[in-house]
Amino acid sequence: MSAFNAIGEDREIDRDEFTPGVEPQPTWCPGCGDFGVLKALKQALPELGLTPDEVLTVTGIGCSGKLNSYLDTYGFHTIHGRSLPVARAAKLANDGLEVIAAGGDGDGYGIGGNHFIHTARENHDMTYIVFNNEVFGLTKGQTSPTSPKGHKSKTQPHGSAKSPLRPLSTSLNAGATYVARTAAVNPNQAKEIIKEAIEHDGFAHVDFLTQCPTWNKDARQYVPYVDVQESEDYDFDVHDRREAAEMMFETESALYEGTVLTGRYYVNEDRPSYQEEKQKLGDVPDEPLAERYFDDDYEWERSYDLLERHK
Amino acid sequence: MSDDELIWRIAGGSGDGIDSTSQNFAKALMRSGLDVFTHRHYPSRIRGGHTYVEIRAADHEVQSRGDGYNFLLALGDSFARNPQEEAFYGNEEIKPLSENLDDMREGGVIVYDEGLLSEEDVAELDLEKRAEENDWHVYPLDLRSLAREHGREVMRNTAGVGATAALLEMDLEHIEDLMEDAMGGEVLEANLEILHEAYETVRDEYDFTHDLRAPSGEHEREQALLSGSNAIAYGAIDAGCRFIAGYPMTPWTDVFTILSQNFPDMGGIAEQVEDEIAAAALALGASHAGAKAMSGSSGGGFALMSEPLGLAEMTETPLVLVEAMRAGPSTGMPTKPEQGDLEHVLYTSQGDSSRVVFAPGNVAEAYDQTRMAFHVAYEYQIPVIVIYDQKLSGENTNVDVSFFDREPEPTLGSTLTEEELREAAHDASGKFQRFQHDVEDGVSPRSLPGQKDGRYLATGNEHSPVGHISEDPDNRVYQMERRLEKLEAIREELDEEHDSQQTYFGDETADFGIVTWGSSQGAVEEAVARLNEQGHSVKGVGVSDMMPFPEAEMTEFLESVDEAMIVEMNATAQFRGLMQKELGRYGEKLSSLLKYNGEPFEPAEIVEGYELNVDGADEEPTAQVRIEPAAGD
Ligand SMILES: Cc1ncc(C[n+]2csc(CCOP(=O)(O)OP(=O)(O)O)c2C)c(N)n1
Ligand code: SF4
């Protein structure tokens, strides 16, 4: 018997299974965009045939980090900015898990920026959802890496002198193989994008626009939005890196004043995932490492066998 | 100081192959039946700069570098000769000779490379006069030409080894064997030729004026020569660890490298990642998902791991970290040993945080205690840190091969199978009560993602039994006490079910005690033996359990003596502070002998410290060590 029977379990899955049965109730503010992510995941996961026991959601800190408190999967609510290294190691240790990391823009693009770049660069087979509300929510409205230039907050009373980070371009440049932006106000697209991202073999980055009505009242609520795939005005090939980059540039420049564009920006199905690359080099075992500890017949190598060169 | 031992020092420029040469020579001595101990001195640079390695060999157990040395092979620093434009090498060729004379024992033998060290430079050293005063026996040899003649200049190391063997009347057999293992083809041939040529030239053409000869010995069982870092890596392998994540930092890099080189062939995973926060977080993630995992670093890198360390504790995720100390503060002296991170490792991370800390005292203990670290981490779901230093990391000693002939222990400790999970307690919503099982030791068995019926949330926030964030006061107290209880349970297990990890030595009836921890243990052990030989009555203990502290054992030890001197390599007496904090008394009994100049203790310095302590002499010790008197003095 396998130690991980939930993995690959094939049965009809009820959406409600992803809602904690007793508590807790979400503590997000009314109208918070984070509800949109939760909803999209609750719809997407059962549609993909995934059971709550085979999904591991790893979150950072912030309002966004509470996602897995309200989503009934295996969960790891880590520390500020560190969801990605925890998540990618869990995936390396047990490839059978469906690993989804999530966190805020402060969490993912600020304190965890280094991990973001490197996880994208390595193209780990996992999904990363960033709740982008252009503000630090949980610590009460400070400027975040995606806040627009001039954004006033209690810690930047004269307005921010910094230009916002461009998350889509950053992950594309770093090496992500699936890059999309969606918005809580566009639930149908959000669900589809999340499904695609989870199914993608490689690092899938979803910049999820989540309005924060409490601290970012001035910010546009990302309506109206335009779905770049649906609109005839934006004709580009998502598999073409250069075209995707151009589109991202346009979108990211326009976010703060022009039209909000959402949709898929880049999809690369050819680049092998990090796991595959490592497998080719013989650097990860064929069977999930985690399985081995339950296998009574496994022949463990001993250091005694390595002593030859010390004699 | 007896000369029934050989302490051979090879000096040259770093990058000149000093390391590999000495490693081979140490093995040859071991194969000839001797016990060996190596000490490596190196500057914080890759090429050029004066460096040396010492090999102490005797027919009896050797536990430290010893005091001084009695054979110098001064090769000359090849990088000092060809400075590139604008590059700063800043070393004179003469340094391998000139820098090494101070610690040379009376009657010692010196071989230097005439081919590389200029005559004028040597003349300036007043070598003849000093040799006469100290009864040194000096053999200038043109090793460089000899090497060039039969091969390449870099092979002058081999010429030096050949000359050494001749002067010490050693057999070449083991040296040849090792060369044959290490190389082949023309390189091997050239080296063998040089070895023989040097050996025969010296044997036939020189009059030996010295008495020093290689000691002879015999081992009952086969030996292996390995370092503390090797032992830690091997302990991890035998504990079933198959995941390592790290970021390079001296001297932790050694363990990281050894495991990175071995894991792929063992179906394990090694990850070099973007920084130390990531490294610890990866180990945590892998462990959470059901692999036995470790990470580690040295001072500065370990500082970055403080937050993931706390997360491991709060989420009760097993985690083993290694902390390889080097001299601080900050980047300090990257290649020099110090025992200055003890408090850092004990107390870093926020809150009433607790972890287990072991400080092995030698190579064998490094292996054992790393295994124990994994056992404790996975059984009790708590972070365990193995703390050691640059000295133990790099020194090589021979260990009986049979010592490593032990069964692997690849168990995940208190982790449930799916069958067990089905029977376990769940809350009304069907969630596994991951943080509830209140058995006596505070341990609450865990599940792994992907298992059926084991779903829960791991969070660094205070949480309810199923892992929901909770600020309920009763729950807080319950969870906090449960986590803290583990330390007591671990203490009990360490006391009862296992032999003590502390190492006791010396005269049991003595009323003067010397207490030390970590890598200073070997030198203290030797010093205690020496003092007892000299007619004093002294006993000692090398403490390995830093947390949970072996309160009963140390109380017993301190009750049995009138005075105790604590020996450690730092300036602020960190271990003494720990003892007093844990035991809450004995301040008036405890004095300290401290050294923090970047060099490890030599046994003679400890003997001297004892004498000063007992005789109450008011002069300062001669070596760079400091006496810190007992409280109330
Ligand atoms: C190391 C560390 N620094 C700071 C904090 C405090 N902190 C908690 S949440 C947060 C900001 C979160 O902002 P964001 O990631 O945008 O998430 P949001 O709350 O908007 O969803 C900060 C700074 C922390 N928990 N840890
Ligand atoms: S503060 Fe903002 S981000 Fe946080 S819950 Fe409220 S609305 Fe959402």
Strand, helix or coil at A148? coil
Q: How confident is the model at residue B92 (pLDDT cuts 50, 70, 90)?
A: low
Across the range A2-30, mean pLDDT stands at 89
* Residue in B with minimal Cα distance to A284: B269
Is it the case that residue B119 has pLDDT exceeding 90?
A: no
Read off the pLDDT band of B1 (50, 70, 90): very low
Q: Which of residues 467-526 of B touch A (CB under 8 A)?
A: 467-469
pLDDT tens, residue by residue, B521-543: 999 999 999 999 999 999 999 99
Among B267, B286, B401, the residue with its CB nearest the CB of A89 is B286
CA dist A131 and B342 (Å) reads: 40
Selected for mutation to probe chain A from B455, B456, B471 (highest A CB count within 10 Å) is B455
At residue B99 the predicted structure's pLDDT band, cuts being 50, 70 and 90, is confident
Inter-chain touch A90–B288, beta carbons under 8 Å:
yes
Query: Which residue, among B32, B36, B284, would best test binding to A if mutated, counting the most A CBs under 10 Å from its CB?
Result: B284
Do B448 and A6 make contact, defined as CB atoms within 8 angstroms?
no
- Predicted confidence at residue B632, as pLDDT, reads 63
DSSP letter for each residue of B448-499: -TTSTT---EEESS-B-TTS-B---HHHHHHHHHHHHHHHHHHHHHHHHTS-
| CA A71 / ligand 1 centre spacing (Å) | 20
A137 CB under 6 A from ligand 1? yes
Whether the CB of B33 is below 8 Å from some CB of chain A: the reply is no
Give A171 Cα–ligand 2 centroid separation in angstroms. Answer: 25
- A4 versus B438: the higher-pLDDT residue is A4
Q: Is the CB of A80 under 6 A from ligand 1?
A: yes
CA distance A193 to A202: 15
Q: State the distance from the centre of ligand 1 to the C-alpha of A212, rounded, in angstroms.
A: 14
Strand partners, B400: B223
Average pLDDT over residues B282-298: 98
pLDDT, average across residues B87-115: 83
Q: What is the rounded end-to-end Cα distance, in angstroms, of chain B?
A: 33
Q: Which helix (H) or strand (E) holds B520?
A: none
Residue A138 Cα to ligand 1 middle (Å): 6
Whether residue A252 is predicted with pLDDT greater than 70 in this model: the reply is: yes
Non-local CB neighbours of B534 within 8 Å, separated by 6+ positions: none
Nearest CA to ligand 1 atom 8: A62
- Chain B hits for A302, CB-CB cut-off 8 Å, are 237-238, 404, 406-408
Answer whether B412 touches A (CB < 8 Å).
yes
pLDDT digits (tens, 9 = 90+) for B19-60: 999 999 999 999 999 999 999 987 766 555 678 999 999 999
3-state secondary structure of B77: coil
Contacts of A217 (CB under 8 A, 6+ apart): none
Is a pLDDT exceeding 90 seen at residue A77?
A: yes
- pLDDT at residue A152, rounded to an integer: 92
pLDDT at position B251 over 50: yes
Q: What is the pLDDT of residues B194-249, one digit of tens each?
A: 999 999 999 999 999 999 999 999 999 999 999 999 999 999 999 999 999 999 99
pLDDT for A254: 85
Query: Considering only CA atoms, which residue is closest to atom 3 of ligand 1?
Result: A80
Using CB distances shorter than 6 Å, the residues near ligand 2 are A 28-29, 32, 34, 63, 133, 137-138, 212-215
Check B286 against A92: CB less than 8 A apart: yes
> Does the beta carbon of A107 lie inside 6 Å of ligand 1?
yes
Out of A5, A58, A85, the one facing B452 most closely (by C-beta) is: A5
Query: Do B282 and A58 count as a contact with CB atoms less than 8 A apart?
Result: no
Residue B495 pLDDT class (50, 70, 90 cuts): very high
pLDDT of residue B414: 96
- Confidence bin at A68 (pLDDT 50/70/90): very high
Q: Is the pLDDT of residue A101 over 80?
A: yes
Which residue's CA is the closest to the ligand 1 atom numbered 5? A80
Give which of A282, A241, A299 is closest to A265, Cα–Cα: A241
Find the mean pLDDT for residues B133-137. Answer: 96
Question: Closest Cα of chain A to B117: distance in Å?
Answer: 34
What is the pLDDT at residue B89? 47
What is the pLDDT confidence band of residue A168, given thresholds at 50, 70 and 90? very high
Pocket test for ligand 1, best of A27, A59, A80, A154 (most atoms within 8 A of CB): A80
In sign, the C-alpha dihedral spanning B549, B554, B558, B561 is: negative
Token output for A164: 């916002």
What is the per-residue pLDDT for B90?
A: 46
Q: Of A27, A63, A135, A221, which is best to mutate to test ligand 2, by the most ligand atoms within 8 angstroms of its C-beta? A: A63
Residue A1: predicted pLDDT: 53
Residue B148 in this model has a pLDDT that exceeds 80: yes
B225 in contact with chain A, both atoms CB, cutoff 8 A: yes
Atom of ligand 2 nearest to the CA of A140: 1
pLDDT at B395 over 80: yes
Query: What's residue B81's pLDDT?
Result: 53
Higher pLDDT, residue B625 or B468:
B468
pLDDT at B508 over 90: yes
Among residues B498, B522, B515, B542, the alpha carbon closest in space to that of B603 is found at B522
Question: Residue B624's pLDDT band (boundaries 50, 70, 90)?
Answer: confident
* pLDDT value, residue A225: 85
A89:B282 CB<8 A: yes
A133 within ligand 1 shell (Cβ under 6 A) = yes
Question: B281, A92: Cβ pair inside 8 Å?
Answer: no
Chain B residues with CB-CB distance to A24 below 8 A? 468-469
Going by pLDDT thresholds of 50, 70 and 90, the confidence category of residue B116 is confident
State mean pLDDT over B168-180. Answer: 96
Q: Which of B334, B395, B337 is nearest to B364 (CA)?
A: B395
Atom of ligand 1 nearest to the CA of A144: 16
How do residues B71-91 score in pLDDT, each as one tens digit? 999 987 666 555 455 444 445
pLDDT digits (tens, 9 = 90+) for A200-246: 999 999 999 999 999 998 767 777 788 998 888 888 999 999 999 99
Report yes or no for ipTM above 0.85: yes
Chain B residues touching residue A79 (CB < 8 angstroms):
281, 307-308, 311, 460
